[in-house]
Amino acid sequence: MTETLMATCSQCRRAFPTSLQVDRATLEALVLTEVYECPHCEAVATYVKADHFYRLDIPEEPPG
């Protein structure tokens, strides 16, 4: 199981995945100010740690 770091858009309040691949302990240690473009409303903004959260990804088992 993996965790995807997500961000919440400050304009439309919808969540989207980020390109950051860090675990929770590493995220806590980082000073984080990333600029993202929301894929939903295309707003460009700076995101801080409070805008980020994790989503648990459970891969589907291949049919078999």
Domain boundaries, the chain: 2-57
Q: With residue 5 as reference, give the H or E element that holds it.
A: strand 2-8
Residue with tokens 């959260």: 53
Give the pLDDT of residue 57: 56
- Between 12 and 30, the more confident residue is 12
Residues with Cβ within 8 Å of residue 30, at least 6 apart in sequence: 22, 49
Residue 33: name the closest of 15, 50, 11, 16 by CA.
50
> Average pLDDT of the chain?
79
**6 within 8 A of 56, measured Cβ to Cβ:** no
